[in-house]
Amino acid sequence: MANAFLYRIGFAFFYFFLLFITSIFILFNILNVQIGIIPFLIGLIFVIIVYYQFTKLSNDFIESYFWIIVIANIIIILILSFCQPLWEDDWARYLWEGYLISKNISPYTISPDYFFGKNFIAINTESTLEILSRVNHPDWPAIYFPLIESYFYFCSLLAPISLTMIKIFYLIFDLIVLAIIRHLRGSKMALLFFSFPLILKEIYLNGHFEMIPIFFLTLSIY
C-alpha cells in the first residue's frame, strides 16, 4: 500500500515537473521553431503518454491533493502565458483587432492590408508594426464573433498589444469551468480537463480563444 501511494505521488510530481521544464525551455527559447516541428511533436506525444498514466490515479488520491495539483497547474499556465507562441500566428490578429477597436475602428469593415503604408501611420506608431506584419490573410477583415472581439478589446484597454494579457485572462474562464466540472463530475474529471496538455498548449502557449466558448458550453450544461 505504501509503495503504491509513493508511486502515485511520484508520478503526479513527474507529470507536472515535465510540464514545468518544458514551459521553462520554451520561455527561455531553448525549445523554439528552429529545432523543427518533428522533435516538438515527439515531445508533445511523450507528454500525452505521461498524461495518460496520470489519468489512472485514483479518485481518492486526486481528491486529497486537489488544490496542490491546481496550484501546480496554475504555475504552468502562468509560465506559458509569458511564452512566445510556436508555429502559430492567429494571435497577431487578436492583438491587432483589439487594438483597432480601441481606436474606434471596426475590424469587420477594414482589413489589415488597408493599413500597410501611409494609412498605418494615420492611427499607429511603429510599436505595432510588427504585429500588423504578422497578421495572416491581411486581405480579410475580422471573422470572429463580437463577443470574442469584445474580449480582445477589453484586454487591449488593460495592456495594448499584449498577448500575455489575453492569455492570462483565459485563466478566469478556465477556473470557472474547473469548478463546474468538479461539481458535476467530481475532482478527477475536473483536473483531467484542467491539466490536459493540448489545452495548455493551444490556450496558454499559442493564445487561442477557445477557452471562452468552452466556458459558455460548460455553463449551459450546468
Mean pLDDT of the chain: 90
> What pLDDT shows up at residue 56?
86
Residue-wise pLDDT for 112-135, tens only, equals: 998 887 666 656 666 688 888 899
Contacts of 137 (CB under 8 A, 6+ apart): none
* Mean pLDDT on 195-206: 95
Considering only residues 11 and 71, tell me which one the structure prediction assigns the higher pLDDT: 71
- Is the confidence at residue 67, as pLDDT, over 60? yes
> What pLDDT shows up at residue 40?
83
Q: How confident is the model at residue 3 (pLDDT cuts 50, 70, 90)?
A: low
Residue-wise pLDDT for 17-48, tens only, equals: 999 999 999 999 988 888 888 888 888 888 88
Residue (of 204, 171, 90) closest to 137 by Cα position: 90
- Is the confidence at residue 72, as pLDDT, over 60? yes
Residue (of 185, 201, 168, 211) closest to 88 by Cα position: 201
Poorest-confidence range of 49-58, 66-75, 112-121, 190-199? 112-121
* Mean pLDDT on 101-112: 93
Residue (of 45, 174, 22, 149) closest to 93 by Cα position: 149
